[in-house]
Amino acid sequence: MNLLALEPETRSPFSKTVQTLIQKHGLDPQEIFMNVLESQEAPEMNYWMMKVLIQEHFVSPQQEVAKDAAGETVKPMQAACLLGNVGALAALLESHAFQGDVCDREFQLAARIASKQEDQGLLGVMMKYAQEVGGLETFMRELQSAPIQ
């Protein structure tokens, strides 16, 4: 699945960049992951950097990245929506960075964040993912129902 329809050949430079950051500059893959998650760079860069970190350097796409004001865990997918990072979100969706399916709490929470921010790019990627896994209709129905507590 390639939600942003990017050419796979464009991945190589990003793989080399991550490798250099880790080997030559001694950066921790976790630190790079957080930087990519917070990045405002082009979606293509954030997408490939996130994919490389998850697939080649085994950074967990489901880890806790913060706590919200109520003390609830914030996962990378939710953070990507809060930060408007479409590239990271697409990579996280493809890596199934949430528990359950498109109608379950983690996915719906991220979708509600994107919806509240009225970010059509984020919502479009989430809808495309839901369609690819055969759950667009149920995803949309859940998104229109009452907010997640």
Residue 49 in domain: yes
> 143, 108 in Cβ contact below 8 A?
yes
Strands (E), the chain: 66-67, 73-74
At residue 144, the pLDDT reads: 86
pTM: 0.94
Q: Quick one: CA dihedral 16, 20, 21, 27, positive or negative?
A: positive
Residue 2 in domain: no
- How far apart, in Å, are the Cα atoms of 46 and each of 1, 52, 67? 16, 10, 23
At residue 147, the pLDDT reads: 58
At residue 6, the pLDDT reads: 96
Domain span at residue 16 reads 8-144
Conformational region of residue 67, where left means phi above 0, alpha means psi within -120 to 50, and beta covers everything else: beta
Q: For each successive 10 residues of the chain (149 residues), what is the average pLDDT?
A: 94 97 97 97 97 97 94 95 97 96 93 93 96 94 72
Q: What b/e string do you get for 87-116 counting C-beta neighbours within 10 Å, with b at 16 or more?
A: bbbbbbbbbbbbeebbeeebbbbbbbbbbe
Q: What is the CATH number of the domain that holds 111?
A: 1.25.40
Residue 101 in domain: yes
DSSP per-residue letters across 55-86: HHS---TT---EE-TTS-EE-HHHHHHHTT-H
Residue 76 in domain: yes
At residue 148, the pLDDT reads: 55
At residue 143, the pLDDT reads: 86
Residue 48 in domain: yes
Residue 1 in domain: no
Residue 149 in domain: no
At residue 46, the pLDDT reads: 98
Residue 63 in domain: yes
Query: How many folded domains does the chain comprise?
Result: 1
